[in-house]
Amino acid sequence: MKLLVIEDDKTTLEYIKKGFVEQGNIVDTAENGPDGLFFATSNSYDLVVLDRMLPKMDGLALLSAMRAANIKTPVIILSALGHVDERIKGLQAGGDDYLTKPFSFQELYIRASILVERHRTSSHKNGLATELTIDNLVMDLVGHKVVRDGKELTIQPKEFQLLRYLLEHQGQVISRTLLFESVWDYHFDPKTNVIDVHVAKLRKKLEENGQPQLIHTVRGAGYVVRTI
Amino acid sequence: MWLERFKVFTRTSIWRFTLIFTLIVLLICSSILALVYQFTVGEQKRQIATQVTIAAQGFSDLSHSPSMTKADFQTAIQQRIDRSGAIILVLKNDDNVIGNLSSLPKNLAKFPSLQHFPIAVVNHLGETTVEIVLGTNLETRFGSLSIALFDNNYQVLESRFITASVGALLFALIVTLISGFLLNQRVLSRVKQIGELTANVKAGRLKSRLPISSKQDEFDMIADQINQMLDEIDDLINSVAQVTDNVAHDLRTPLSRIRISVEDSLTAFDENSADAQWRIALLDEIDQIIDTFNAMLELSRLEKGVPKSTFKTVNIETLCEDVIDLATPLAEEKNQKLTLNITIDEESSLSRLKGEPNLLFRAIFNVVDNAIKYTQAAGNIALTCHISSQQTDIVVCDNGPGIAKEHYDAVFRRLYQVDSSRQGDGFGLGLPIVKAIVELHGGSISMSSSNPGLTVSITLKH
């Protein structure tokens, strides 16, 4: 994918650029607001990573200008301001996600991939899936049922949502905070191992009767659903 | 309640002062009245007594005169009666009784002592009235002579004087008591303001100040001093908070650079190699430091107040259910029973709470998470939520070891550790953030014992 990173701190900029390039993406960079806006309006990108505080032009002003110019590219806002109201301001200005500095590149990458994916599917308008499958597991989204190897599993509503989110992003690493935000729809880092406990419970149900593992832990990053 | 208020009232120093002052006023009034009495009523009384004494002395001298005969003495008496209708003279001896009074009291005081006694008088309209006279009894060789003078003027004057005096004293008493009461109320209300302020400050509301009136009286001076003192304390606390904020903020940038470098170097190694392992452990440590700094900064931010524009209607029922959903597996791991009980007075109350759902969720989850963490295995934790029209009460109650009463207030302070052995177990910022969130919503949080265990109560006003 093709990205634009607008960030004035060189260390952070290099770090983000390097990370995305290593994953085989094309990255354009800008170090101030006006340059960033110029790039964003003159080229087509899959994603913009935008620092909240930029020289010459505030990140949110840039974002508003972008949206005013009818550029719908998904934007992840990076900010040292982690407070709830700042997050709300960022999302109101047209941001699609908000990440507080310092962040791990893994977290940024996971969120970037998911945003790009979501943007693509929504623009293609595939229609809503009624069923998700992996291996011998079938998830019936209409009937709220999970069947593995022909046997229906007893699954709690939140576990259902967890599994659904993981299955919708098969093969993608999902971080704990992202999982928490998507399933519970609250924005903060619960700090405890609470998500791990939920995933462990779900995993145990999925692996009943010696079924092979589907949810895998990625050290320092999160979880991924894949066969083997 | 009124009795209680009255008791409080009577215990005040102002009330004692009022009573003493009233007593002094009454004493002064009484002495002035006594003096006036002496100069007016007393004087008149003495005059009549003098007249009676002079008359008695005159008759005594007359009776002692050697040339005086009984008939002459009786004539003198009769003449005196004729001359003045105001004098009463009765001479009584073995032969007869002469004089202008038909009956005399027995045992009338002997001269020179005088005595008041009543007599019945028929006035010119034929009505009988009782009059008071002052008289004495004089033993002469011509018989027992009773001499008396009408004392009515004095009587009327005295009774009027007493009525007026009692009235004046009562009036003085009432006026001083009422003014004392009003004064007391005023002083008491000022003192109460100071009491309320110190209670507020003790409860951590350092922004409270005393009102200062334009009168510039001694209370305004004290209020001004107290306000200045609080400003100073507030400034000091703010500057400490500002310094820690700056430290946290300034250290975050180099820390995130370190984090970037470490994470960056991680890609060169296999995930399970020793080189990767210690780097991952290092990242965890760095993340913890960053988390603490973030929590400190966030706490300051919350204490300064988040704009209320981000507030919206919060469905606290769903929010509590979400908290339980999130926390249940944690409790299950420790075999604990985690229950939720929601009561709603009226369905319409559900939409009354305004707030920031993310912050409220975080606050309630934090309290529940603490309860799970500190309650022993197989313990009980109950989250109850009562929604009334006025407020929402959220209570988290456990049967764990609880904490000692003296820590109840202190646990809400930054970086406070109840037990030094618990160090490293959290950063002592969780509860201060919970408190800041609750107060941001205009609510209050308190702890109590659930015998055994800890009860944390959060009240959010609608």
Q: Searching chain B, which residue's CA lies closest to the CA of residue A156?
A: B325
Which domains, from first to last, does chain B contain?
A: 2-39+157-196 (no CATH), 41-150 (3.30.450), 218-304 (1.10.287), 308-461 (3.30.565.10)
* Chain position carrying tokens 């969120």: A111
A39 interfaces chain B, CB cutoff of 8 Å: no
Is B263–A104 a contact, with Cβ atoms under 8 angstroms apart?
yes
Choose among A22, A156, A190: nearest Cβ to B365.
Answer: A190
Is B322–A190 a contact, with Cβ atoms under 8 angstroms apart?
no
Helix/strand/coil (H/E/C) assignment for every residue in chain A: CEEEEECCCHHHHHHHHHHHHHCCCEEEEECCHHHHHHHHHHCCCCEEEEECCCCCCCHHHHHHHHHHCCCCCCEEEEECCCCHHHHHHHHHCCCCEEEECCCCHHHHHHHHHHHHHHHHHHHHCCCCCCEEEECCEEEECCCCEEEECCEEECCCHHHHHHHHHHHHCCCCCECHHHHHHHHHCCCCCCCCCHHHHHHHHHHHHHCHHHCCCCEEEECCCEEEECCC
Q: Are B174 and B5 in contact (CB under 8 A)?
A: no
Tokens of B102: 């038909």
Q: Are B414 and B429 in contact (CB under 8 A)?
A: yes
Please tell me what DSSP assigns to residue B107: T
Q: Are A54 and A33 in contact (CB under 8 A)?
A: yes
- State residue B454's pLDDT score: 92
Q: What is the rounded CA–CA span in Å between residue B420 and residue A119?
A: 51
Q: Are B341 and B382 in contact (CB under 8 A)?
A: yes
Of B363, B372, B425, whose CA–CA distance to B397 is shortest? B372
Lowest mean pLDDT among A13-22, B84-93, B174-183, B222-231: B84-93
Query: In A, which residues are within 8 Å of B440 by CB distance?
Result: none
Of A220, A157, A155, whose CA–CA distance to A184 is shortest? A157
Q: Please state the ipTM of this predicted complex.
A: 0.81
Choose among B253, B307, B362: nearest Cβ to A188.
Answer: B362
Is A194–B369 a contact, with Cβ atoms under 8 angstroms apart?
yes
User: Residue A132: how many CA atoms within 13 Å on its side-chain side?
Assistant: 20
Interface test with A, best of B251, B252, B260 (most A CBs within 10 A): B260
φ and ψ at B419, to 5 degrees?
-130, 125
Is B257–A11 a contact, with Cβ atoms under 8 angstroms apart?
yes
The C-alpha R_g of chain B, in whole angstroms, comes to 47
Contacts of the segment B85-90: beta carbons below 8 A, 24+ positions apart: B86/B149, B86/B150, B87/B55, B87/B147, B87/B148, B87/B149, B88/B119, B88/B133, B88/B135, B88/B146, B88/B147, B88/B148, B88/B149, B88/B150, B89/B145, B89/B146, B89/B147, B90/B145, B90/B146
Strand arrangement of the beta sheet that strand B337-344 belongs to: B337-344, B380-387, B391-398, B454-461, B444-449
What three-state secondary structure class fits B41? helix
What three-state secondary structure class fits B30? helix
Classified by CATH at the fold level, domain A131-225 comes out as Arc Repressor Mutant, subunit A (1.10.10)
Task: Band the pLDDT of B446: cuts 50, 70, 90.
Answer: very high
Q: Are B295 and B257 in contact (CB under 8 A)?
A: no
Q: Are A90 and A1 in contact (CB under 8 A)?
A: no
Q: What is the rounded CA–CA span in Å between residue B328 and residue B336?
A: 9
* Chain position carrying tokens 């190694």: B269
Q: What is the rounded CA–CA span in Å between residue B431 and residue B429?
A: 6
Query: In B, which residues are within 8 Å of A157 by CB distance?
Result: 325
A194 interfaces chain B, CB cutoff of 8 Å: yes
* Min Cα–Cα distance to chain A from B252, Å: 8
How far is the first Cα of chain A from the last one, in angstroms, to the nearest whole number? 27
Q: Positive or negative CA dihedral for A9, A10, A11, A13?
A: positive
What is the Cα B227 distance to its own chain's centre? 22
Interface test with A, best of B290, B324, B365 (most A CBs within 10 A): B365
Q: What is the rounded CA–CA span in Å between residue A23 and residue A224?
A: 17
Is A12–B260 a contact, with Cβ atoms under 8 angstroms apart?
yes
User: Tell me: the pLDDT tens digits for B339-390?
Assistant: 999 998 887 777 778 898 889 999 999 999 999 998 999 999 999 999 988 8
The interface residues of chain A toward chain B in range 142-181, judged by CB-CB distance below 8 A, are 156-158
Q: Searching chain B, which residue's CA lies closest to the CA of residue A107?
A: B263
Q: Are A217 and A125 in contact (CB under 8 A)?
A: no
User: Residue B412: how many CA atoms within 13 Å on its side-chain side?
Assistant: 20
Q: Searching chain B, which residue's CA lies closest to the CA of residue A162?
A: B326
- pLDDT of B418 over the 70 cut: no
Mean pLDDT per block of 10 residues along chain A (228 residues) reads 90 89 91 91 92 87 91 90 78 89 84 88 65 88 88 89 90 88 85 86 89 86 85
User: Tell me: the pLDDT tens digits for B201-257?
Assistant: 876 677 888 888 888 888 888 889 999 999 998 888 888 877 877 777 778 778 888
A67 interfaces chain B, CB cutoff of 8 Å: no
What three-state secondary structure class fits B114? coil
A118 interfaces chain B, CB cutoff of 8 Å: no
Task: Band the pLDDT of B423: cuts 50, 70, 90.
Answer: very low
* Min Cα–Cα distance to chain A from B318, Å: 11
Lowest mean pLDDT among A78-87, B21-30, B43-52: A78-87
Q: Searching chain B, which residue's CA lies closest to the CA of residue A186?
A: B358
Of B336, B279, B461, B453, whose CA–CA distance to B387 is shortest? B461
Task: Band the pLDDT of B48: cuts 50, 70, 90.
Answer: confident
The CATH 1.10.10.10 portion of chain A extends over: 131-225
Over chain B, what is the mean pLDDT? 84
- State residue B264's pLDDT score: 78
Q: What is the rounded CA–CA span in Å between residue B217 and residue B327?
A: 58
Choose among B257, B306, B361: nearest Cβ to A85.
Answer: B306
Task: Band the pLDDT of B55: cuts 50, 70, 90.
Answer: confident
Residues of B with a Cβ under 8 Å from any A Cβ are 249, 252-253, 255-257, 259-260, 263-264, 266-267, 271, 280, 283, 290-291, 294, 297-298, 301-302, 306-307, 309-310, 322, 325-327, 329-330, 332-333, 356-359, 361-362, 365, 369
Q: Searching chain A, which residue's CA lies closest to the CA of residue B290?
A: A102
- Looking only at the bridges linking them, the beta strands covering A145-148 and A137-140 are antiparallel
- State residue A127's pLDDT score: 56
Interface test with A, best of B362, B366, B429, B437 (most A CBs within 10 A): B362
The CATH 3.40.50.2300 portion of chain A extends over: 2-124
Q: Which amino acid is at B403?
A: I
Please tell me what DSSP assigns to residue B405: G
Tokens of A98: 């908000």
Q: What is the rounded CA–CA span in Å between residue B422 and residue B432?
A: 17
* Min Cα–Cα distance to chain B from A69, Å: 27
Is A219–B301 a contact, with Cβ atoms under 8 angstroms apart?
no
Looking at the structure, give the CATH architecture of the domain made up of residues A2-124.
Answer: 3-Layer(aba) Sandwich (3.40)
The C-alpha R_g of chain A, in whole angstroms, comes to 19
